[in-house]
Structure 1
Amino acid sequence: MSDQLKTLLRRGLSAHEGNRPEEAEKIYRQILDISPANAEAEHLLATLLTGQGRNGEAIDLFESCLSSVGANPAARCNYAIALESSGQIEKAIDQFKQAISYHGDFPTALYHLARLEIPRGHLGQAVDLLGRLLGLKPDHFEGLLLFGNALHALGQEKAALMSLDHAAEAAGITPDMICRVATAHLRLGYPGPAQGLYQRALSIDAKFVPGLRGLGQSLAHQGQYAKAIALLKTARQLAKDTDDIDLVLADITLKCGDVFGTIEILEAVLKANPDNAMADALLLRSKAKLASGDGTEFAKEAKNWAKHHMPIAAKPVFANTRQSDKRLRIGWISPFFCEHPSFKLLGSLARNLNRHEVELFLYSATPRPDDVTRSWQVMADGWREVFGQDPMQIADRIRKDKIDILIDLCGAHPTQPIEVFALHAAPVQASLSPTTTGMTQIDYLIGHKEVFSGKLANNKGLSEHPQKLELGPYLPGELDDTFPVSPLPAAFNDDIIRFGCIDKLANISDETLMCFARILNKITNSRIVIQDDVLEDSYAAKTFLDRTRQAGINRDRLDLAGTVAAEDRPALFAQIDIGLAPFPAICLENHFEMLWSGVPFVSLASDLPGSRLGLAILADIGLEALCAHTEKGYVDKCIMLSTDLKALASIRENMRDRIRNAKAFHAPAVAREFEESCREMWQNWCLRK
């Protein structure tokens, strides 16, 4: 190489490393004008162009020079990075593997190959690669961070935390790196350690926005909403882009029961950024809690959400055999295969499926595996970790597994990879969501017949076909016979009637509170106990009390309860004579528990999405008369129940017999019907041409 070219290369490299890309590109092209096949200049220019997102030009240059510089593992890795950036993942993986195969354990190749193997579900391979990397570079920050995540996904919690602690040490005094470790802790379910790291970052830079946002989020995870909101508002004043901060604020305000405030925040986010799919999904879920809403309008909004945010994909040709009586492969996908109500509600169904008729594959998008995750794994014929994977990769995995029916367990939740359904991952697709998903790619909405007895299902307001069940599909968790049903409290408490609403504050609509006020006004010797874990926090309690005051409820008629330990919950229900289900949404698991404790509840079924779940479980035990269809009817039923303590005591005394004798509470029967329903959906597909 001539002295002129050497000088130009030095100048180009100096500009490149000095972050002067335009100058560097000009010099590299000058070299190529003088020496068109100069491999070193091609390699450096290709690397520069990759950093600018000009991947097509970069790949052409890499492929021109690779025969000359391929012995350099860095060049091969740079080529792989360009391939990955252009979406050619398999080719990128092959190049990283070649770099390792030809040149030994090259750190860059080890790290990037591990990074690409994790979303493909190859956790064991990734851990091996990262172990080799850290053997060479023990303080490799990115490697330690990735190693911790991979180990945690494999259930090696202690080793994962050790790796994250080492990453925190390697972060030194760089706030951004410290916050990345904190975010990893938060995502994996350790808000305490995350809080400490965010505080460490803020001790270095008190105005570091990611630190303020993260500290607010970690405090919110620990139920300290008042402090969290103050930090997030400070972060918002300092930030240029506030979307992420606003999403955390919206999540907090929703948990604390301020649905209108949540909607206001999310609509402002979407006004500035209409393509924010997470904000739109959370907005849809928030609107489903409005008793003043309209079911038909909600269905339209759900369809608009799906149309705006879901990818468009042609239906593939499935390799599944069209055999109507074969053993079906059923897939469930959810971000909640962990400590979550879905285990209580669906665990019994999963355990009782006839494995001669069906195979159950679980696709876990769970960010924080725990002991309940292990219980789900035991019930699965096939277990697939898909958290963090691209929806297209998940869909490909499902097709390779030849799943016949893919079932969504939670609808358009912000953490659910719902796009998998838009990509037609299985021949038949269904959802257990209590509300329409708005997605035409989901063929069926599976639910109790009473859920579909309103106008919305009958006037074709749903995007999916209603698949009606006589029983289930939800069941209560394990029924505990060790504690007896308590006597009716009113019989021993000077005839004072105590109502109870044991639910999330977000589900207690303003209309529900106004009904509570009317009940208390009509029944002078009455009180209401409200329980939700978030009431431990001062902001949540104040927000709720402000709402009750506006509804006309006197503070001295309210008993508020925050977190109640599992062993103390029977004592909580022992204080309640009559349950009050909020509307339009309820926590189903709480109302199963309420019934098992002997407490009947009054519900309101309307045409709003998700509003008929209370009716479904009351009808299953012959108490559908306790479900009203108007707010006046809701209040009247509460008054009627309170006037006949003898009848109320009898209902309480016989409640467990009602449950034991109800076919809908018999897990094998619910499982058989669910299998038959799946068989019917599959046969319908087999008959199509």
Structure 2
Amino acid sequence: MHKEGKLAEAENLYRQVLAANPDHPYANNNYAILLRAQRRWDDAVACYRRAVRANPEDAHVLNNLTCVLSDMGQETQAAKVAMMAVALKPDYAEAWFNLGNILRNLGGADQARQAYRRAVRIRPDMAEAWSNLGDMHKSASELTQAMECYRTALRLQPGLPQPYVNLGEVLKEQGRATDAITLLQHALEQHPTLSLLHSNLLFALHYTPHVPPEVIFRAHRHWGERHATALTTASRKTFSNDRTPDRRLRIGYVSPDFCAHAVSCFLEPLLRGHDRSQVEIFCYPISRRSDAVTARFQAITGHWVPLTGLTDDEAAERIRADSIDILVDVAGHTCDCRPLIFARKPAPIQVSWLGYPDGTGMTAMDYRLTDAIADPPDVTDGWHVEKLVRLEDGFLCFRPAQETAPAGPLPARRNGHVTFGSFNNSAKVTPEVVALWSALLLRVPGARLILKSKPFADPATLARYQSLFTTNGVTPDRVDLLPQNPDQGDHLRAYDRLDIALDPFPYNGTTTSCEALWMGVPVVSLRGTHHVARVTASLLHRVGHDDLVADSPDAYLDIAAGLAGDLDRLETLRQTLRPRMKASPLCDAYGFAEQVEAAYRQMWKDWV
């Protein structure tokens, strides 16, 4: 019955067997499989534990128990059970695979890698284990090995979607945005209903200058039509929220990044700045990542409600039960996003902000917070399903991830040459960016360039970028390609080596631009047509430096070369940028929160 999909009949038969013999090991195990599929976690665990007591040396039952404990987020207990399973049956590939998944969730990267390797040694055809082993290489910036693992997984199981998603990420991190887009388009043809894969494709479109904003918009609208519209239509319900116009509002923030992440540098100031007499804050984490920054978020929020482990339906119902007035998506189509929660419209007003440089493509999303520089009026409105709400003093407020002493002396004075640099992710450093930066180095004799990004730890990626600069006439001795420094303090102190920061295009820096300015390093930016290419222009305007924004590649070269030829100006900027920034709207948490709350209030009154 169970194998034939007749679940109700199967459940009835299992109950009959267990009524006669409550400790029957196989009936308990099989019934638990059915219960797990129904997400009846506690009942499934109880059945598995009875099966284990009846047959304590059955590694298969232990492995099944491992899976449901992991589903429940009880990773430490799951790890203990998984280790018992592999000890009983060392040649059990599936148990090693599950152990790898659990150790990975617990942060044991080296141990997880060893478990996945053990699984593929036992079963070389286990595509899922190859794919997850690729993830471990990717997280360690071993991109070449990651690509080999993903391609092995796809060769073994061409219909497996996850290797496509992550292989696309690797290609993007190598600065090969066009290749990533091509791969993800091919994968989407095979998996047209996989919204996560489709989201990755949308994100990748922003990294290349060859896809115009109107095409990117159509791609987002298509995502909404394919994955969200039917859910929104089916979920239409009346809201019982108290419609008093001026009452205290219940605001929910949904994010995977309540942790040490670039997003937290902008989300935390808003949450700290909120007037608790006007808004009641709910934080909804959609990722299990947790660290000291997570503890800070928990301390400043009124309600901490993790949605991890819940389906999109369950998560939407949980939010609806909290009677949220305005629900804010801080992820968009980025890593670990959950846009289909919003497709179910669990709150009467839904807003997109911060984490993603574009709209969502969903009619269920009512508004998007931005500003008039990042999204010029009458230009970018037509590229959004959402209504754009332009905040007068900018759509961001910055707080550095770590307090750091001001910038040191100007490097050019002691080095005898100017040092340009960019600490943006290499995914943003496309061949077009390399070409322009190479032209700058050729224009400024003796100048050097420092790039710092995690993927430069991969020898093949490093060699590719060295080759790109050489092709553009820049000798290797003028360019330093450094891997990311995991220590935030050391990362910020690395700006002491830079005289001038270069902003990539079309995908501008955000956190990196703020960090450079904070450390006294001016940022030269090329202003583009749409949000992703105008963020740094918005940031520079807030600190009174529109003069560092170019409207053409030639102007970009002129501004950067002009700065390189004026060391006195660079020294002045090094001493004044941080004080300017502190005094600007860009670092005024309470002022920023006030304008956001005013926008929320207007949205609420319009809805009422």
TM-score by length of 1: 0.79
Q: Displacement, 1:493? A: 2.2
Local SS of the residue matching 1:425: coil
Alpha-carbon distance in structure 2 between the residues aligned to 1:213 and 1:161 = 21
Which of 306, 330, 338 is the equivalent residue of 1:409? 330
Note the 1:619-634 alignment, pairs <5 A. Answer: 619-634=541-556
Provide the C-alpha distance between the structure 2 equivalents of 1:510 and 1:335, rounded to a whole number of angstroms. Answer: 31
Displacement after TM superposition at 1:136 (Å): 7.0
Residue 223 (structure 2) aligns with: 305
> Does residue 268 in structure 1 map to residue 220 in structure 2?
no
Contact 2:254/2:327 (8 A) holds in 1: yes
Asked if 1 retains the 8 angstrom alpha-carbon contact of 2:393 and 2:585, the reply is yes
Deviations 1:417-467 (A, max 9, x none): 101111111100010132121112111111233212266424x22111111
The letter of the residue matching 2:460 is Y
Q: Deviations 1:87-120 (Å, cap 9, x if unpaired)? A: xxxxxxxxxxxx99xxxx967667766775689x
1:602 paired to 2:498: no
Task: Find the counterpart in structure 1 of residue 367 from structure 2.
Answer: 444
Q: How many residue pairs are counted as aligned between the two chains?
A: 595
For residue 422 of structure 2, what is the aligned residue in structure 1?
A: 501
Matched, 1:588 2:510: yes
Task: State yes or no: 1:645 paired with 2:567.
Answer: yes
Question: % of aligned pairs identical?
Answer: 25
Correspondence list, 1:177-188, <5 A = 177-188=95-106
Deviation, structure 1 residue 647? 1.4
1:363 aligned partner: 284
Letter paired with 2:449? I
CA deviation profile, 1:582-634 (whole Å, cap 9, x unmatched): 11223422221111110010112211341111011111110122111222221
- The answer to whether the Cα contact below 8 Å between 2:62 and 2:82 also exists between their aligned partners in 1 is no
Q: 1:443 to 1:390 in 2, by over 3 A?
A: same
2: CA distance, partners of 1:231 / 1:482: 40
Residue in 2 that maps onto 1:679: 601
On the 8 A contact 2:404/2:492 being kept in 1, the answer is no
- Rate the CA distance shift 1:131–1:348 in 2: closer, same or farther, 3 A: farther
Report if the CA contact (8 A) 2:76-2:106 is conserved. no
Of the three residues 201, 220, 229, the one matched with 2:119 is: 201
The letter of the residue matching 1:346 is L
Relative distance call for 1:667 and 1:200 in structure 2 (3 A) is same
C-alpha displacement of 1:188: 4.7
Deviation at 1:650, TM superposition (A): 0.8
Say if 1:561 and 1:404 are closer, same or farther in 2 by CA, change over 3 A. same
1:74 and 1:335 map into 2 onto residues whose CA distance is 42
Task: State how far apart, in whole Å, the 2-side matches of 1:227 and 1:71 are.
Answer: 49
Shift of 1:73: 5.9
Q: Does the 8 Å contact 1:428/1:682 carry over to 2?
A: yes
Residue matched to 1:191:
109
Does 1:72 find its partner at 2:16?
yes
Are residue 525 (structure 1) and residue 446 (structure 2) matched?
A: yes
- Give 1:384 deviation, angstroms: 1.8
Q: 1:151: Cα distance to partner? A: 4.7
**Residues 356 and 200 of structure 1: is their aligned pair in 2 closer, same or farther, counting only changes over 3 Å?**
same
Matches of 1:181 and 1:455, distance apart in 2: 54
Aligned partner of residue 559 in structure 1, secondary structure: strand
What SS does the corresponding residue of 1:329 show, helix, strand or coil?
strand
Alignment of 1:530-549 (within 5 A): 530-549=451-470
Structure 1 279/327 Cα, relative in aligned 2: closer, same or farther at 3 Å?
same
Alignment match, 1:6: none
2:583 matched to 1:661? yes
Amino acid at match of 2:562: M
> How far off its partner does 1:479 sit?
7.0
CA distance in 2, matches of 1:76, 1:275: 44
Q: 1:218 to 1:351 in 2, by over 3 A?
A: same
Amino acid at match of 2:507: A
Shift of 1:310: 1.9
Output one character per residue of 1:271-291: Cα deviation in whole Å (capped at 9) or x when no partner.
333333222211111111112
Q: Which one has a bigger Cα radius of gyration?
A: 1
Measured in 2, the distance between the counterparts of 1:129 and 1:221 equals 36
Once the two structures are TM-superposed, the CA of residue 520 in structure 1 deviates from its matched residue by 1.2
* 1:438 partner SS: coil
Task: Supply the distance in 2 between the matched residues of 1:572 and 1:656 (Cα, whole angstroms).
Answer: 16
2:289 maps to 1:376: no
Alignment of 1:314-329 (within 5 A): 314=233, 315-329=236-250
Q: Tell me how far apart the structure 2 counterparts of residues 508 and 364 of structure 1 sit (CA, whole Å).
A: 31
Distance in 2 of aligned mates of 1:356 and 1:137: 58
Mean Cα displacement is larger for which, 517-526 or 481-490? 481-490
d(CA) in 1 for partners of 2:376, 2:502: 22
Aligned mate of 1:146, from 53, 62, 68: 68
Q: What stretches of structure 1 of length at least 5 have no aligned partner?
A: 1-47, 78-98
Letter in 2 for 1:214: N
Residue pairs, 1:216-235, within 5 angstroms: 216-235=134-153
Which residue, 508, 527, 537 being the options, matches 1:615?
537
The alpha-carbon deviation at position 293 of structure 1 amounts to 2.4
User: 2-side partners of 1:508 and 1:176: how far apart?
Assistant: 40
* Equivalent pair of 1:110/1:130 in contact (CA under 8 Å): yes
Q: Report deviation, 1:581.
A: 0.8
Give me the CA root mean square deviation: 3.0
CA separation in 2, counterparts of 1:667 and 1:621?
Answer: 15
User: Which one is further off, 647-656 or 363-372?
Assistant: 363-372
Q: Is the 8 A contact 1:70 1:76 kept in 2?
A: no
1:29 — aligned with what?
A: none
How far residue 501 of structure 1 moved from its aligned partner, in angstroms, is 0.9
Contact in 2 for aligned 1:302/1:438 (Cα 8 Å): yes
The one-letter code matched in structure 2 to 1:674 is: V
Counterpart check, 1:259 vs 2:177: yes
